[in-house]
Amino acid sequence: MSSTSKQVRVIRKDPGIKLTRNNYRKKALPYLLVDFDNRCAYSMEKLFTLLEVDHFNPNLKKDLIQKYENLFPASRHCNKNKRATWPSKKMMQQGIRFLDCTKESDYGTCIFEDLESHKLIGTTPAAKWHILQLDLNAPFLIKHRKERADLHQIIKNCFVRLRTPIDKSKPFFDLIKEIRKKLDDMIPQIPPPPTS
């Protein structure tokens, strides 16, 4: 996260490479993986080898020179759902658009997770459209978010039950360490929607 006044989820570093219509996939992907921590820009799934290069604005895909800031790592699921979709000018005037996690805050600001269903909830026209177009409530993504929540609850329950001084048994702490490592590779926790 940036500590600037405008919180963003991903901070890009300019790789200083020339990207063209013919080489952008091969040349940009290694830099995108570093900038986005091997995560899909849209679902936040951590996929070490299965990420594709998506054009945030697909209308720029045909340009001879490709701009790095228009390229995002995307899971096959998100890339397939987004395809060449781009909102019309009229839609944009109504606030309907894709969210750019390198320029604005998305998760925890206008996209939240329902703590019971683990579905994503958008609180702005852009967030609602973003979730719908990318199918971010696909059953497998809901399942991944639920598994992550369950692991967090296991850790929380372990420490709540162990309020008294404990025998710091190595197997117990190794297990907690293993669970935390697994959590690092899962979709990060997403805050619940604010209550009115």
Task: Return the closest-CA partner of residue 118 out of 88, 148, 153.
Answer: 148
Query: Using one digit for the tens of pLDDT, what is the confidence trace for 14-32?
Result: 999 999 999 999 999 999 9
How far is Cα 165 from Cα 91, in angstroms, rounded to an integer?
59
Q: What is the pLDDT of residues 53-63, one digit of tens each?
A: 999 999 999 99
For 69, the 3-state DSSP assignment is: helix
Read off the pLDDT of each residue in 73-82 and give the average, rounded to a whole number: 96
- What tens digit of pLDDT does each residue of 105-128 get? 999 999 999 999 999 999 999 999
Domain chopping of the chain, boundaries: 139-184
> Distance (Å, rounded) from C-alpha 130 to C-alpha 111?
9
pTM, rounded to two decimals: 0.86
- Over residues 162-194, the pLDDT tens digits come to 554 455 556 667 777 888 888 888 888 898 988
- What's the burial of 40, exposed, middle or buried (CB within 10 Å: 0-12/13-18/19+)? buried
Cα separation, 11 vs 36, whole angstroms:
8
Region of poorest pLDDT, from 25-29, 37-41, 96-100, 177-181:
177-181
Q: What is the pLDDT of residue 170?
A: 61
